Structure 1
Amino acid sequence: MLLGVSIGSSLVVGIVGYVSGSDSLRDAAYSKLTETRESRAREITNYVKNTEDSQVVYSRGTTAINAVTAFSAGFDALQSSQLTTEQNAAVDSIYTKTFAPELTARSGLQTDPTAFDPTSPAARYLQYHYTNPTLDYTATLAKDDAGDGSAWSAANNEYQDYFREIITRFGYEDALLLDTTGNVVYSAYKGVELGTNVQTGPYKGTVLASGYNETLNSNQVDFVKITDFERYQPSLGAPAAWIMSPVGEKGKVTGVMAFQLSIASINGIMTANNGWASDGLGETGETYLAGPDQLMRSVSRQLIENPDQFQKDVISAGTAPDVAAREVEVKGSTLLQPVRTAPVQRALAGETGTDITTSYLGTESIVAYAPLNISGLQWVIVARIDTSEAFAAVNDFTRNLVFAIIALILVVSLLSLILAQVFVRPVRRLVGAVRQVTGGDLSVEVPQGARDEFGDLGNAFNDMSRSLRIKQALIDEQTDENEKLLRTLMPDDVAKRYKEGQETITDVHHDVSVLFADLIGYDAYAAGVDPEKELATLNTIVASFDEAAARMGVESVRTLREGYLASCGLGVPRVDNIRRMVEFSLEIRKIIERFNAQHSTNLSLRIGIDAGTVSSGLVGRSSLAYDMWGDAVNLANRVQQVSGAAGLFVSQSVRDRMHDAVVFVEAATIDTADGSQTVWQIK
């Protein structure tokens, strides 16, 4: 019987351990992959945002405004220029001998050089003097003045170094300036687009042309347009994306400045500069971008590390052989590698989640996917790793657990055989067991003896031991539940004082930030759903608030159906409590925005923040409640009520301490005991 019980217990423990352990390891794998996806998403979003901000700074600067004016004037002056027959032949040879053959070789399509040959006198003049016959862009970037004495060359001599420095430092592929009629009046690399017109010339169907029209028609000098990648013929069919903005001042647009984004920069972010292993993605993990056409917008890891195996795998998974060969040839997968997988499709539909699916390489992978929040681009991000690697820890755990159970069963069996050879008198066993119980060990039991009085006594003892153990377990369980419940009602230090017998517990706290938040629009939302779903939705929102509060050092004090009261510096004094509370208010507003985006709702928050001295303590006798009161609490509540509309409203004291970090606008005034006070709104 001892042997059977021991073996059965070992098996049960092993099964429970396997289920619990394997689930935990799987969850850890998903969590790690999700964290990697979020990290990469933040990096690529910040890269685009920083690029957009830089674009606005450049386009509104005096240098860019003067450059557009100078190049446009120089370009217009060249429209009356004339080239000699030999000079015209030299321009034509750029297209017949270099550009058209190379574009044909790169694209695989026959190229007619006359379709790209510049027609305007200014374009032909500039390409003769600046465009390298072999399309050596390094040479043209370094060239400041052709020495022809034209106004355009004088402008290039003055501004080429400025744009060359931007391109070199920030990794752009090219910089263009366009006048208000669509002429490319300047190119840093002096490629074949120099002097052409994006509205009437050979590149009028490109995203450069459509982006130019949208930028020019925006009538906003701080407008920024970012385009998706497309195959750009002046770059010999290589993928190109543009970021552009109007150039001008005082509301008058004089041209458009466009920078060609670097694929290498995007690939560097998505590959962590080829540091996948150090980034926690092991030997098979990667992150990549995809567009609405379900083609990659970044490079594949396997293409970099093992091109031959990559070509075999993607072809086996359904990629056309010529496409796979092209990817290996150009060492890139942007606009080439299809990723028509379920996660990409769900992400394009606006969903965020994880899944196990077959990757574009044909391997089973766990995947974390999400759409990217980049204005003007419908890109999604996917993080993946082969299940064989991701769940390797689960397999190792299972193997080790099986070996441990087998070893345990063998040990138990051996011990049982030994004990079977030894007869210990029942009374001694029982005396020893009683002494253990007396010492507080309620888990002790005596082996069952023969069917006699001693055997009955042993059984009775075992029953008593089990009963005591169960009762003690119930008592411990109830004690734990009571402890958990008490800690949900009040902070730990207050709970400790209450358990020690204090009946009147109150504290005064100095320099505490207080936040009142009202959920606006929830009644309208709740009117259309059943009560159970309404409560579940509300709990989801509150749980997100509580998680953000715990993460940012803010303490949740009280939650009502449409209200939320929180403090910072109450339980744990913090010198930066106002900053934390302002950041927390911005964070819960983002939570509501994400909730609206996911559920197509129109909820908003009306938030009031004040800081000062507050009191806290236990209220009531038979029904305890932990509460907070004081002038700061009252003022925070009044501040958020100054307007019926949603917004983040703060008192004068909060604004005084945060005016260097946050933009405030005056919202209203309220009367307080100390006089009239201005209420400010965070923008």
Structure 2
Amino acid sequence: MYRSIFENATEGIYQTTPNGKFISANPALANILGYDSPEELINNITDISNQIYVETKRREKFINALKKDNNTARFISLVRRKNGNLIWIAEKAHSVKNSQGELLYYEGTVEDVTNRKIAEEALQYQQEQTERLLFNILPGPIAVRLQMQESTIADSFSEATVLFADLVNFTELCTAIPPTELVKLLNEIFSVFDQLAEQYGLEKIKTIGDAYMVAGGIPIEREDHAEAIAQMALDMLKEIKRFHTKDGQPFSIRIGINSGPVVAGVIGIKKIIYDLWGDTVNIASRMESQGIADKIQVTEFTYNILCGKYLFQERGTISVKGKGEMKTYFLMDKL
């Protein structure tokens, strides 16, 4: 009965000496390793460690596992077949000892798990790609919460700073250059802004056409949120000068900044986005839209935070839609 099981099993069955030679092997193992018969396998393989296993010292790790637990439940290895092709196998083995506890040989089974391994690696690759995409779309801490299947992600922040930037006269430029060139240009400009946001530890929220939105103090609170945004804004004015229109004219941007409480969260089930809401956001947008080219307009709230650290020029009072008269300042430089 044992011989019948041994000969007809679909799994490979073997016995090996401690120094790496086959004592016995069934037809299934010979087939798995690409040999015509068990006899051919036993006669040709005299050093399992170097002839079968691809990884150096894999046999040594296998033996160490057996020494530790006296058996291996599922030992996965990359091995060579007779023709040189590589396959993945899973071994279940145990040590056979005599009544005095002396090791006689190793006995085990082998399963070809190549297809399963390929499928697992493909699934892992897809999961990694999905995770990478998720972390590109959302802030890291928010992406983690989403992976944990948190139903509603919404947080209130008592202090944050929001920046909006918009390219001046970009609408006119859109009609003068081909769409592909336009998208390429926007990508180059916004990629520079993205690098600045990463440099200062800020969170890019989104782009809307030729407008760029970034925030400090979310999703992780930080005391210097206004300073970081101010420094990025000053660098944005410098960086935009590196870009020119076809006739050699440099681009200009308007920048608006405001500080205060915001609500942040994830919305949608398709094309999800991490966004901000509240008066702080609306006023920051007004600071940009009612600003001046190549100027950084800030509210009195932001001015009060940065006063003494940065140089400002008072603009005066402007009428802000929905808010009435507001005193604003132009951020000029760092003191």
Q: Could you report, residue by residue, the CA deviation over 1:540-578 in whole angstroms, capped at 9, with x for unpaired residues?
A: 111110111111122111122201010011123221211
Superposition TM-score, scaled by structure 2 size: 0.65
Cα pair 2:288 2:297 within 8 Å, conserved: yes
User: Which structure 2 residues correspond to residues 355-370 of structure 1 after superposition, within 5 A?
Assistant: none
Aligned to 2:248: 600
Quick one: which amino acid aligns to residue 439 of structure 1? R
Which residue of structure 2 lines up, in the alignment, with residue 662 of structure 1?
311
Structure 2: distance between partners of 1:430 and 1:632: 70
Equivalent residue, structure 2, for 1:514: 162
SS of equivalent residue, structure 1 residue 550: helix
Residue in 2 that maps onto 1:682: 331
**Matches for 1:107-146 after TM superposition, within 5 Å:** none
Is the alpha carbon distance of 1:536 and 1:491 closer, same or farther for their aligned partners in structure 2, counting shifts above 3 Å? same
Give yes or no for contact 2:242–2:250 (8 Å, CA) kept in 1: no
Q: In 2, are the aligned partners of 1:430 and 1:446 still within 8 Å (CA)?
A: no
Which among 614, 617, 635 is matched to residue 265 of structure 2? 617
Q: Does structure 2 retain, via aligned residues, the 8 Å contact 1:445–1:465?
A: no
1:359-438 residue pairs with structure 2 within 5 A? 422-427=21-26, 430=29
Residue 670 (structure 1) shift: 2.9
Contact 2:300 2:327 in 1 (8 A): yes
Partner of 1:545: 193
Following superposition, the deviation at residue 465 of structure 1 comes to 2.5
Structure 1 unaligned regions, length at least 5: 1-420, 450-460
Distance 1:578 1:543, change over 3 A: same
> Aligned letter for 2:311?
V
For 2:141, the equivalent position in structure 1 comes to 493
1:641 aligned residue: 289
The amino acid that maps onto 1:425 is S
Which residue type is aligned with residue 478 of structure 1? Q
Distance of 1:478 and 1:603 partners within structure 2? 40
In the superposition, the TM-score normalised over structure 1's length comes to 0.34
CA distance in 1: counterparts of 2:247 and 2:237, whole angstroms? 15
1:353-412 deviation per Cα after TM superposition (whole angstroms, max 9, x unaligned): xxxxxxxxxxxxxxxxxxxxxxxxxxxxxxxxxxxxxxxxxxxxxxxxxxxxxxxxxxxx
Q: d(CA) in 2 for partners of 1:556 and 1:515?
A: 10
Give CA deviations for 1:112-152 in whole Å, capped at 9, x if unaligned.
xxxxxxxxxxxxxxxxxxxxxxxxxxxxxxxxxxxxxxxxx
- Structure 1 residues 622 and 674, CA, compared in 2 at 3 Å: closer, same or farther? closer
Is 2:243–2:250's contact at 8 Å kept on the other side of the alignment?
Answer: no
Deviation at 1:504, TM superposition (A): 1.1
Is the alpha carbon distance of 1:550 and 1:643 closer, same or farther for their aligned partners in structure 2, counting shifts above 3 Å? closer
Would the alpha carbon gap of residues 667 and 539 (structure 1) be closer, same or farther in structure 2, given more than 3 Å must change?
Answer: farther
Deviations 1:319-368 (A, max 9, x none): xxxxxxxxxxxxxxxxxxxxxxxxxxxxxxxxxxxxxxxxxxxxxxxxxx
Compare relative contact order (CA 8 Å, sep 6+) and give the higher one, 1 or 2. 2
Distance 2:182 2:133 in 1: 24
1:439 to 63, 74, 82: 74
Aligned pair 1:479/2:131, yes or no? no
Q: Deviations over 1:30-58 (max 9, x none)?
A: xxxxxxxxxxxxxxxxxxxxxxxxxxxxx
3-state DSSP class of the match of 1:573?
coil
Kindly provide the CA deviation profile for residues 587-622 of structure 1, in whole angstroms up to 9, marking residues without a partner as x: 011110122399924311111100011011111234
Cα contact 1:521–1:602 (8 A) shared by 2: no
Decide which of 639, 653, 656 is 2:301's aligned counterpart: 653
Answer whether contact 2:161 2:215 (CA < 8 A) is retained. Answer: yes
Give the distance between the partners of 1:473 and 1:578, measured in 2 at CA.
45
User: What secondary structure sits across from 2:244 in the alignment?
Assistant: helix
Distance in 1 (alpha carbons) for counterparts of 2:159 and 2:187: 30
1:605–1:674 CA distance, 2 compared to 1 (3 A): closer
Matched with 2:7 is none
Report the CA distance between 1:631 and its aligned residue.
1.3
Tell me which residue corresponds to 1:554: 202
Q: Give the aligned CA root-mean-square deviation in angstroms.
A: 3.4
| C-alpha distance in structure 2 between counterparts of 1:492 and 1:424, whole Å | 55
Distance in 2, matches of 1:430 and 1:599, equals 74
1:402-449: per-residue Cα shift (whole Å, max 9, x none)? xxxxxxxxxxxxxxxxxxx94453339949x9x9996272x4446449
Change (3 A) 1:597 1:645: closer
**In structure 2, which of residues 215, 232, 241 is the aligned counterpart of residue 567 of structure 1?**
215
Q: Which amino acid aligns with 1:627?
A: D
Letter of the 2:252 partner, please give it. S
Higher helix share: 1
Q: Which letter maps to 2:204?
A: S
Structure 1 residues 519 and 673, CA gap change in structure 2 (3 angstroms)? closer
> Whole-Å Cα distance in 2 between the matches of residues 446 and 429 of structure 1?
16
Q: Residue deviations 1:170-195, cap 9 Å, x none?
A: xxxxxxxxxxxxxxxxxxxxxxxxxx
SS at match of 1:425: strand
Greater Rg by CA: 1
- Pairs aligned (count): 250
Secondary structure class of the residue paired with 1:439: strand
